[in-house]
């Protein structure tokens, strides 16, 4: 009898080991790279250099730049703090080309999402859109010449033409749906002092987004919503509004506590959670840090450390295994497998040209 139990134990152990080995050697069917706020890189620095290496060796993938694709100073650069985005200057072109150049030999798909700096932090749609379109034109005209890029001929700047979206694209043989939205356009549409809320635009946006989420559910797709502004984060944009932010609208808009931003985030969060699916990711930049959080069936990724970092105030209760924050430059990678996804982090403190890799963020569990 003891020999029989011993045999069954060994057989079970071998079966588990073989299953674990089979799972470990499975290659991902698709990879998604996520980097944001890289608009101060005038040349290929450590973060972009590492990203380029990954892109060139993984053609079956896509990369998304999560907004604030270009930073320029106020008053034609005379003031040092950044307010504007692409202004057509040589400095602005160099900062965009620092990102675009890593795509020259890439055979996957590349996308740029607009952020508040790409709108020049304008609260007037007409004025901000003019600035935004100049950046969109520069990016798309440049990438048209990168003929190895799968989508070089069209659709590299999404949502386009100042629209809030949502714009849906399918990847990985239809198993993954990426939904692009322009959160700054939504913030502009929210009610503000002396102006009415643009209910027509907002109602249509949320109605269309809900329909796309329903469609993705019927198709049993993984859903990745990409934008610039986080729904949930722990960076400096989440701190209480300062006096100057409270009186200068273009600075207040960047803070999660300001009503237009707060209202947008609450409504977006509620809509995503209403679908009760553990395979929906909401990905953003804006905060200059790397963050991951999972709650109420929704994955939150903040990847806004493409070229710089801010001091993130992390409280003891935020060190929970479900909430992780890194104060280094870097980017995220999502690997898609037959049984779920794995999240990988690439990061550096800027002192070493080689980036560190953290495999298996949050234990690398795969989410069904």
* Total structural domains within the chain: 1
The whole domain housing 238 covers 35-364
Residue 6 counted as domain residue: no
Residue 358: which CATH number?
A: 3.60.21.10
Q: Both tokens of residue 232?
A: 């949930």
Q: Both tokens of residue 258?
A: 């300001």
Neighbours of 212 (CB within 10 A): 18
> In Å, how far are 28, 74, 306 from 184, measured between CA atoms?
33, 19, 19
> In Å, how far are 19, 46, 98, 316, 322 from 57, measured between CA atoms?
28, 17, 19, 39, 31
Residue 51 counted as domain residue: yes
Q: For residues 355 and 330, is the Cβ–Cβ distance under 8 A?
A: yes
Residue 11 counted as domain residue: no
Cis bond leading into 159, ω under 30°? yes
| Block residue for tokens 């469609």 | 215
User: Residue-wise pLDDT tens for the chain (368 aa)?
Assistant: 444 434 333 334 333 433 444 445 678 999 999 999 888 876 557 889 899 999 999 999 999 999 999 988 755 445 555 677 888 899 899 999 999 999 999 999 999 999 999 998 888 899 999 999 999 999 999 999 999 999 999 899 999 999 999 999 999 999 999 999 999 999 999 876 567 889 999 999 999 999 999 999 999 999 999 999 999 877 666 666 665 655 555 565 566 667 888 899 999 999 999 998 888 999 999 888 898 888 888 899 999 778 777 766 554 344 444 557 777 889 999 999 988 888 888 888 666 667 777 765 654 444 44
pLDDT at 136: 97
pTM: 0.86
Residue 139 counted as domain residue: yes
Residue 316 counted as domain residue: yes
Residue 14 counted as domain residue: no
Residue 19 counted as domain residue: no
Residue 248 counted as domain residue: yes
**Where are the alpha helices (H) located in the chain, listed in sequence order?**
2-25, 46-56, 90-100, 125-143, 183-189, 199-218, 243-247, 249-252, 259-273
């Amino acid at each position: 009898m003891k020999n029989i139990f011993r045999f069954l134990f060994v057989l079970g152990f071998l079966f588990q080991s073989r299953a674990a080995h089979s799972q470990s050697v499975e290659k991902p069917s698709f990879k998604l790279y996520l980097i944001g706020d890289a608009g101060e890189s005038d040349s290929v620095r450590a973060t972009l250099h590492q990203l380029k290496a990954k892109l060139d060796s993984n053609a079956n993938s896509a990369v998304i730049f999560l907004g604030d694709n270009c930073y320029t100073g106020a008053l034609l650069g005379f003031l040092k703090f950044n307010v504007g985005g692409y202004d057509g200057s040589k400095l602005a072109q160099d900062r965009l080309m620092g990102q675009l150049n890593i795509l020259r030999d890439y055979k996957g798909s590349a996308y740029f999402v607009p952020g508040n700096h790409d709108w020049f932090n304008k609260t007037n749609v007409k004025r901000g859109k003019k600035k935004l379109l100049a950046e969109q034109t520069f990016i798309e005209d440049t990438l048209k010449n990168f003929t190895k890029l799968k989508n070089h001929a069209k659709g590299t700047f999404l949502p386009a033409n100042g629209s809030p979206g949502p714009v849906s694209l399918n990847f990985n043989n239809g198993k993954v749906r990426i939904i692009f939205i322009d959160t700054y356009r939504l913030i502009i549409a929210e009610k503000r002092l002396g102006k009415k809320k643009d209910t027509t635009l907002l109602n249509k946006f949320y109605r269309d987004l809900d329909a796309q989420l329903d469609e993705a559910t019927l198709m049993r797709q993984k859903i990745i919503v990409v934008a610039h502004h986080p729904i949930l984060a722990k960076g400096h944009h989440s701190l209480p509004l300062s006096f100057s932010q409270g009186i200068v609208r273009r600075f207040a808009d960047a803070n999660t506590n300001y009503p237009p931003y707060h209202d947008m985030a609450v409504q977006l969060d509620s809509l995503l959670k209403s679908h009760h699916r553990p395979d929906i990711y909401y990905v953003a930049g804006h905060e200059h840090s790397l963050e991951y959080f999972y709650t109420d069936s929704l994955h939150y990724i903040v990847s806004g450390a493409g070229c710089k970092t801010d001091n993130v105030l992390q409280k003891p209760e935020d060190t929970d295994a479900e909430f992780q924050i890194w104060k280094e430059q870097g980017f995220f990678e999502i690997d898609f497998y037959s049984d779920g996804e794995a999240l990988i982090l690439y990061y550096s403190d800027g002192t070493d040209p080689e980036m560190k890799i953290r495999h298996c963020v949050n234990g690398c569990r795969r989410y069904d």
